[in-house]
Amino acid sequence: MVTKGPAGKNRIPVAISGCLLGEKSRYDLSDKSIPSITDALADHFTWVPFCPEMEIGLGAPREKLNLTVTGAEVRLTGDESGIDYTRKMERHAMARVKDLSHVCGYILKSKSPSCGLSGDTGIFSRIVLTRFPGIPMVDEGGLDNDEGRKSFVEKVFIYHRERRLSNA
């Protein structure tokens, strides 16, 4: 398990899109780090970074991926190549969500075809929501003010407490 955060504290594990910690994992290698948010929350959480697109072997830089709707089906496809990555991402997400079953929340990259929450929900996010209904999930936009950060922290603490009580 890879974690980032101050050592020696009893912090709750929260999964976070690696690009939000400054990892060069975006399709265009752009910097999407949010130290104003991650630093403010680091006293509460141990970061568990992940990037589904990198983890299925796409590398960076890479072609941009898109969600396309065909009837009732949502597909994850390469913008230029048209390659369909849907099944590969779904298989990976099912396994990765099991690996991340110890986390008590997710901070995800907005508008990502794998991690997005608004509009068309990303493939990875959809599987997390199905497997762990009720787990606190937010994109970085939901944390850009004190009220949003406070709400997320409270939800994670409640989720963590309820999980501990149910395992006791």
Q: 155: burial class by Cβ within 10 Å (0-12, 13-18, 19+)? A: middle
Q: Tell whether the model's pLDDT for residue 36 goes beyond 80.
A: yes
Radius of gyration of the chain (CA): 16
Q: Tell whether the model's pLDDT for residue 48 goes beyond 70.
A: yes
60-93: burial string, b at 16+ Cβ within 10 Å, e else: bebeebebbeeeeebbbbeeeeeeebeebbeebb
pLDDT value for 2:
40
Instruction: Give residue 71's pLDDT band: very low, low, confident or very high (50, 70, 90).
Output: confident
pLDDT value for 1:
37
The model's pLDDT over 80-99, given as tens digits with 9 standing for 90+, comes to 999 999 999 999 999 999 99
The model's pLDDT over 150-165, given as tens digits with 9 standing for 90+, comes to 999 999 999 999 998 8
pLDDT value for 46:
96
Q: Tell whether the model's pLDDT for residue 6 goes beyond 60.
A: no
pLDDT value for 82:
95
The model's pLDDT over 56-69, given as tens digits with 9 standing for 90+, comes to 999 999 999 999 98
Q: Tell whether the model's pLDDT for residue 101 goes beyond 60.
A: yes
pLDDT value for 25:
96
pLDDT value for 94:
97
pLDDT value for 9:
65
Domain 12-61+87-160 has CATH 1.10.3210: no
Length of the chain (residues) = 168
Distances (CA, A) of 161 to 12, 17, 41, 104, 131: 10, 24, 18, 10, 19
The model's pLDDT over 109-168, given as tens digits with 9 standing for 90+, comes to 999 999 999 877 999 999 999 999 999 999 999 999 999 999 999 999 999 999 988 887
Q: Tell whether the model's pLDDT for residue 8 goes beyond 70.
A: no
Residue owning tokens 């990765």: 96
